[in-house]
Amino acid sequence: MSIALESKVSPVPELEARGAASGRGAVTDALLPWRNPVFMRYVRSRLRLRKAIFWYLVTLIAATFVVSLMYTLQTNSGTPAEAAARSIWIPLLVMQGIILMIKGAGSVSAGLIQDRIDQTLDYQRLTPVSPLRNLVGYLCGLPVLEYAMFALTLPHLAFVAVVGRIPPDVLLSVYCSFFVCVVMYHMTGIAAGMVIRRWIFGYMLSILLVLFVNVMLPAFVSQLGLRFFQYLSVWPVIAQKVVPVVTGSAVVPQTGNPFLAVFGDVPFYRWSMSPFVFTLLLQGALILTFGTIAVRRWKSSTRHSLSKPFALAFLLGFLVVLIGNVWPIVTRAYMPFPLFGQWSLDELGEVVAISLPLVYAYVVWFLCIVLLAIVVPTHHHVVRGLRRAIKHGRPAPRLWEDDSASLLVYALFTVAAVAGLLVLLREIAASGYFVESFGRSPATVWRLPLALTLVVIYTALLFQALGPRKAMLVVLLVWCLPILASVVLSAQTESFDGLHAVVHSLSPVAFLLMSGLPAAEVGTPEALEGAVSAVGIGANTGLVAVAAQIVVLWLLWSRRSRVSYALCRSPVSAAASLPPASASNE
């Protein structure tokens, strides 16, 4: 019977019926969402009315309630209809942001992780659809319910735009920036989905990231000199484009509200850029990065999320933007930051001389930790790379390959990080901040670049010699524990003396801080002289401790490398105990 059935099966139609054909057909396929099978999959599954009706109703009811209530209250209090309608725009934008950015990003990462767990992602990997087209399918398809919910708010937006007479160019630029931001968050979700193993973690991480970027960064971090973080959110564009429309003022009000306190153009070295352009550039770069992660992991789930050259380029790009944003301060051009806005540049001597290099060192070190965790190969990858290289007649993997464990590459990361710091310190010195603060350039100014050099190399060796799991153990025991112990000791004696500093500085985190405090240079009150001297002791002890750890890690790595080489170079002895492979049946 089965054989009879088989005769009914039609052969696969020839290539002309196949959409995967190259040329014009491929371009059309890429442009038309309904030709994207992945997108259509989610249209079918996520927009099924029985499941989606709840969300449609929630959106319609909430949006209609907000618009009608606010409009009625305002017009009843005598506000003109145009102004009343405009005032609804920001709440509506927030609602749209919650739908697309928070719920959407969570859906993207959770959906992708679930597909990976179910192994249905492998099915899609095995189709001839290109990684990019698959990526577009997932990017547009996974949050398709949220796009539909957003679409349900469009009548309300139309009401606001028509009654409020909002200029179309303003609408266009705001929603252009809004959607670039949405795509960036969704790309974050895709990247998280390709890397994280549990959907709940991916879901939570994506949502927390959106909240962090939109709330924490503008409110706190960007006020401390890292202003460019603010441009990862939609607030700069809202402040520049929406607030003037809503308030009817051409100038952004100096509200003091950290969310909206983005003033004028973006400082970038000697130039200033439009927030709109800067936002698009910054978010575009991040979209590219997340896209690269997704495509690499799509092609092979065992690849590193970023290649070594890309990670190094990312670090360099980050440094260029980071230094560019604080350049007006360190060169004494003007004060662009709201938190320091009430101070003149002449009053910022010690803040710029001490805090700015320290903030730079910590932020760059943190980024190096993230990037090195991505690009440093595990022992398994090192062995695989060695075997592959030896098989192809090379002594080791090529420098930039994923499986390469090259100190030269880690040295380049270190050089880039430290070079940025040296540029910053040189400008700070040239602008007279050191002289203003200490009367002269501090003799210990070399400590911070040296400390940054050591901790970056130390981080690379930590991942290389111990692997990520053991590295986490070291972070807990060596990075955190000494700090906690010294805090307890200090609380017991109500002082911070040499012993406390020695314990404290065993942690590289504390070592970096102590190396960045030119304590001996600052004129200190007599009461603090003990603490100042302790910081100096701590910096020296930390230097020895980190250097010793580097030596230990180096020895561990060398030993491991020798074992790996021995293992890879003697395949015959390893195979001797096994039966021989049979001849091919050719």
Partner 1 sequence: MSTLDDPSPALHPRPEPVLEVHNLRVDYGSFTAVHDLDLTLTPGEIFGLAGPNGAGKTSTIRVLATLLEPTYGEVSVAGSDLFEEPEAVHELIGYMPDLAPVIPDLKVWEFLDLYAASHGLRGRARRERVDACLERVRLTNARNVYGRALSRGMMQRVVLAKTLLHEPKLLLLDEPASGMDPIARRDLRHILEALAEGGAAIIVSSHILSELSDMCTSVGIMHGGRLLEHGPMDRVMSAIDAEAAQIRIEIVGDAHRVAEWLRAQPGVERMRLDGSTILLAFRGDRAARSALLRSLVAEGFDVAGFTPERSSIETLLMSLIGGGASHVDSTGE
Please give the residue ranges that form the binding site for partner 1 (CB under 8 A).
2-3, 5-6, 8-13, 17-21, 37-38, 40-41, 44-45, 48, 118-120, 122-130, 299-303, 379-380, 383-384, 387-388, 391-392, 567, 574-575, 578-586
Supply the minimum distance, in Å, between the C-beta of residue 313 and partner 1: 24
Do residues 80 and 170 lie in contact, with contact meaning Cβ atoms separated by under 8 Å? no
Q: Six-digit token pair at 315? A: 């670090």
Dist. CA 262–CA 323, nearest whole Å: 19
Dist. CA 523–CA 208, nearest whole Å: 43
Supply the minimum distance, in Å, between the C-beta of residue 194 and partner 1: 14
Provide the 3-class DSSP secondary structure of residue 267.
Answer: strand
Supply the minimum distance, in Å, between the C-beta of residue 578 and partner 1: 5
Measured from the CB atom, is 76 or 584 closer to partner 1? 584
Backbone angles phi, psi at 294, to 5 degrees: -65, -45
Dist. CA 89–CA 85, nearest whole Å: 7
Give the rounded distance of the alpha carbon of 401 from its chain centre.
Answer: 23
Neighbours of 370 (CB within 10 A): 14
Measured from the CB atom, is 50 or 440 closer to partner 1? 50
Helices (H), 7-103: 24-31, 37-46, 49-76, 81-87, 89-97
Do residues 187 and 290 lie in contact, with contact meaning Cβ atoms separated by under 8 Å? yes
Measured from the CB atom, is 20 or 58 closer to partner 1? 20
Measured from the CB atom, is 91 or 131 closer to partner 1? 131
Supply the minimum distance, in Å, between the C-beta of residue 122 and partner 1: 6
- Hey, which residues does 268 pair with through a beta bridge? 271
Helices (H), 300-335: 308-330
Supply the minimum distance, in Å, between the C-beta of residue 370 and partner 1: 24
Supply the minimum distance, in Å, between the C-beta of residue 307 and partner 1: 15
Residues whose CB is less than 8 angstroms from the CB of residue 122 and which lie 6 or more positions away in sequence, other chains included: none
Measured from the CB atom, is 193 or 542 closer to partner 1? 193
Q: Six-digit token pair at 563? A: 């074992």
* Residue in 43, 248, 231, 69 with CA at minimum distance from that of residue 137: 43
Supply the minimum distance, in Å, between the C-beta of residue 8 and partner 1: 6
Measured from the CB atom, is 342 or 584 closer to partner 1? 584
Dist. CA 37–CA 115, nearest whole Å: 15
Supply the minimum distance, in Å, between the C-beta of residue 120 and partner 1: 5
Q: Six-digit token pair at 402? A: 């994923």
Measured from the CB atom, is 254 or 300 closer to partner 1? 300
Measured from the CB atom, is 8 or 24 closer to partner 1? 8
Measured from the CB atom, is 165 or 559 closer to partner 1? 559
Dist. CA 363–CA 229, nearest whole Å: 12
User: Which H helix or E strand runs over 277?
Assistant: helix 275-299
Backbone angles phi, psi at 286, to 5 degrees: -70, -35
Supply the minimum distance, in Å, between the C-beta of residue 4 and partner 1: 10
